[in-house]
Amino acid sequence: MKRFAPFLLLVILILFPLLVRDDYHQHLMILVLMWVVIGAGWNVIAGYTGQVSFGDAAFFGTGAYTAGLFATKLSISPWWAMAAGGVAAMAVAFPFGWICFRLRGAYFALATLALNEVMRHIATIWEDLTGGMVGILIIQTFVSKVPYYYIALALAVAAVIGVQAVMGSKWGYYFVSIREDQDAAESLGIDTHLYKMISLNIAAFLTGMAGSLYMNYMGFIDPEVVFSLHDISIMAILVGIVGGVGTVYGPVVGAFIMVAVHEFFRTGFFGFFKGLAALTGSQAITTLAKYVMQAHVLGFGILVVVVILVLPNGIVGDWKKITGWLPLGGGRRSAA
């Protein structure tokens, strides 16, 4: 069962747009797949290599802006920017890693946080290039969501398989060694600085690609959206932690759950509060609904606390614990 689960999931994902034809659910699935890519990238640098990044938005935004600038400044199809966005994000990651990998642990995490803010400010202030707060608007290629869905799916599958391949190789052993003990790793002949750089650049490439995909799909970006600390950087961490840090399928599970939770709050518990307000006509409930819809970050926070307390290794990492809770012997008992 466990061996076939990924294939089964893949088949379902391939058939999904044929079975579910409304735009809203297709839109959500595209976001899920995009978050799988970002989560896979975060998992490489933070989950496997142990260098926690609070600045994934720096790479995401760089990828998105690369795609946007390809279209508006160079008049090249932003689809070319899918790869270029990844490379541009690496161009940000490279000098950053070169300097900041001298820092360890929390200090490195703080540096990534700073990178996030620096990139957001650059995108805001450099109006000649980026358009500043106005953002960039491009014409989307497709009206239907289906092509975007399959591109996102291809990217997500490639990201998961790619990360799995890397982690099975020498690089993978080195990344985990660095996470477990950097001094020991160094004494075993591992060039820790080099391999942290490789890991960060893999993460940046994947996240940058996801950013380009976002630009192509949404058609509009501004600095507050794509360089957002809480909607991109923190969300990436949540996808990683909820799914399971340092597991291959953790980001996949994490992306599903986090996009669902995000949507759950954004829609006010799937329209529950709005419906309640309309039903009762109460002004107080209308106001409450508004606050609940804005409280998704609070919801994220509570979710993370619960996950870390109950499932410290995430849903994939603690899968055995979860199956242990389920009454698996129940079927036999009811038959008797």
Partner 1 sequence: MRFFEVKNLVKYFGGLAAVNDVSFEVKEGEIFGLIGPNGSGKTTIFNLISNFHSPTSGSVLFKGRDITGLKTHRICKARIARTFQVVKPLGRMTVLDNVVAAAFSRAKTKHEARDLAMETLEFCGLAHRKDMLAKSLPIGERKRLEITRAMATLPELLLLDETAAGLNPSELVEAIDLIRKIREKGVTIIIVEHIMKVIMTISDRIHAINFGRTIAEGTPGEVANHPAVIEAYLGEAYARG
What does the binding site for partner 1 look like in residue numbers (CB under 8 A)? 168-170, 173-174, 176-177, 180-181, 183-192
Q: How far is the CB of 80 from partner 1 (least distance, A)?
A: 35
Backbone angles phi, psi at 70, to 5 degrees: -55, -45
Rg over CA atoms, the chain: 21
Q: Which is nearer to partner 1, 184 or 305 (CB)?
A: 184
Q: Which is nearer to partner 1, 99 or 302 (CB)?
A: 99
Q: Which is nearer to partner 1, 168 or 301 (CB)?
A: 168
* Dist CA 223 CA 31 (whole Å): 19
Query: Side chain identity at 145, as an amino acid letter?
Result: K
Q: Which is nearer to partner 1, 173 or 264 (CB)?
A: 173
DSSP 8-state symbol, 267: T
Secondary structure tally for the chain: helices H, strands E:
19, 2
Q: Which is nearer to partner 1, 130 or 177 (CB)?
A: 177
Q: How far is the CB of 184 from partner 1 (least distance, A)?
A: 4
Q: How far is the CB of 174 from partner 1 (least distance, A)?
A: 7
Q: How far is the CB of 113 from partner 1 (least distance, A)?
A: 26
What are the CA-CA distances from residue 141 to residues 75, 103, 214, 215, 238 (Å)? 14, 43, 13, 11, 31
Query: Side chain identity at 123, as an amino acid letter?
Result: A
Q: How far is the CB of 246 from partner 1 (least distance, A)?
A: 8
Residue 221, H or E segment: strand 220-221
Q: How far is the CB of 183 from partner 1 (least distance, A)?
A: 6
Q: Which is nearer to partner 1, 85 or 172 (CB)?
A: 172
Structure-block tokens of residue 236: 């990436």
CA atoms within 13 A on the CB side of 234: 14
